């Protein structure tokens, strides 16, 4: 369904008048204090590992958070979620993608926008090792795509504790979002991603000489180029287009059977029209799509005494009916 006035829509501070400012400002200025993680390392079925960062208050409800491309559970938007839910006596765990927790992963593969297998591994571990009565999923950007994909593909086999999900700034069509990042106005984001991804490649080169290299990396001008050369072959896809086709979450949204909130700001510089799943949401009563005019990409800046951003308040407001507050 398409949301109407269910929750007060986001209104940015006046000096953040466009999507770029709303995207960049929190990355440069936000500092979330008071969250102390306890790290847990778990093994994956293929011999790798995942690092889980826990922030707990002794609750029987839990939110599981998935971060964005080249992010981690240490990013401020994840810490903000941890603090917001801990304040309301809900436990939180951040799932770090392979190679994103400060230590290289063991295998040549790392992570991609369709890595729902790793989310599944984390959730199975949590289910078997802890006694949470209710679990909700939260995802940002790439983590939102992974979350929606997981919910759709696992529709009939979800853990009974899973109660709901909320995702923000989701590139529901990966190919279209990559093309969007090629726009001249998005040069700074594209450049940053490609530099950080090259660091990943170089780490692998040192650990696994002869198996991967960054020869002629300067010829890579887009994320699609990177995905064609690295992501697709390392993760079993024919090419970038095959990867985008199989992993874009838009196709999985019709199959979601869990209460799910999708929030994609209309002025998100990363998102083209294809990443607003309007028809899919209209046809699925379990999915609520909200498209506020403002917010940027994983922005939603707000100023208040709790240093709580609008996206955090929105996640709390939506999930409170499904968790034990």
The domains of the chain, with CATH numbers, are 19-319 (3.40.50.1820)
**What pLDDT shows up at residue 307?**
93
Mean pLDDT of 109-134: 98
Give the Cα-Cα-Cα angle 10, 16, 17 (nearest 5 degrees).
85
Active-site annotation holds for 286:
no
pLDDT tens string 218-254:
999 999 999 999 999 999 999 999 999 999 999 999 9
Give the whole-angstrom CA distance, residue 113 versus residue 173: 11
Active-site annotation holds for 268:
yes
**Taking 70 as the threshold, does the pLDDT of residue 6 lie above it?**
no
Nearest by Cα to 61 from 2, 137, 170:
137
Give the whole-angstrom CA distance, residue 247 versus residue 188: 25
Give the whole-angstrom CA distance, residue 105 versus residue 65: 20
pLDDT tens string 28-66:
999 999 999 999 999 999 999 999 999 999 999 999 999
Determine which one of 227, 297, 302, 311 is catalytic.
Answer: 297
pLDDT tens string 96-109:
999 999 999 999 99
Mean pLDDT of 183-188: 97
The band of 5, judged by pLDDT with boundaries at 50, 70 and 90, is very low
Mean pLDDT of 183-192: 97
Active-site annotation holds for 141:
yes
Determine which one of 268, 275, 302, 311 is catalytic.
Answer: 268
**What pLDDT shows up at residue 23?**
98
pTM over 0.85: yes
Determine which one of 55, 59, 113, 141 is catalytic.
Answer: 141
């Amino acid at each position: 369904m398409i949301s109407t006035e269910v929750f007060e829509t986001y209104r940015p501070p006046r000096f953040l008048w466009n999507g770029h400012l709303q995207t960049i400002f929190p990355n440069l200025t936000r500092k979330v204090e008071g969250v102390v993680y306890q790290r847990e390392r778990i093994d994956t079925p293929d011999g790798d590992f995942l690092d889980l960062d826990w922030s707990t208050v002794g609750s029987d409800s839990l939110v599981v958070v998935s971060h964005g491309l080249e992010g981690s559970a240490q990013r401020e938007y994840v810490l903000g979620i941890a603090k917001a839910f801990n304040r309301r006596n809900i436990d939180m765990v951040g799932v770090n993608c392979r190679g994103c927790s400060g230590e290289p992963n063991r295998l040549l593969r790392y992570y991609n926008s369709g890595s729902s297998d790793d989310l599944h591994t984390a959730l199975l571990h949590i289910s078997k090792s802890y006694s949470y009565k209710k679990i909700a999923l939260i995802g940002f950007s790439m983590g939102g795509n992974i979350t929606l994909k997981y919910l759709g593909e696992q529709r009939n086999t979800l853990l009974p504790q899973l109660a709901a999900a909320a995702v923000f700034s989701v590139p529901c069509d990966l190919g279209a979002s990559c093309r969007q990042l090629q726009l001249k106005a998005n040069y700074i984001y594209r450049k940053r991603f490609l530099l950080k991804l090259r660091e990943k490649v170089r780490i692998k080169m040192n650990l696994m000489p002869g198996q991967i290299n960054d020869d002629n990396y300067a010829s890579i001008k887009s994320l699609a180029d990177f995905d064609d050369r690295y992501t697709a072959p390392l993760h079993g896809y024919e090419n970038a287009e095959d990867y985008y086709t199989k992993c874009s979450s838009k196709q999985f949204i019709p199959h979601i059977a869990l209460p799910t909130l999708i929030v994609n700001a209309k002025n998100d510089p990363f998102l083209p029209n294809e990443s607003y799943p309007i028809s899919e949401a209209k046809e699925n009563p379990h999915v609520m799509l909200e498209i506020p005019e403002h917010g940027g990409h994983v922005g939603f800046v707000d100023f208040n005494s709790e240093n709580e951003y609008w996206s955090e308040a929105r996640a709390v407001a939506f999930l409170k009916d499904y968790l034990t507050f």
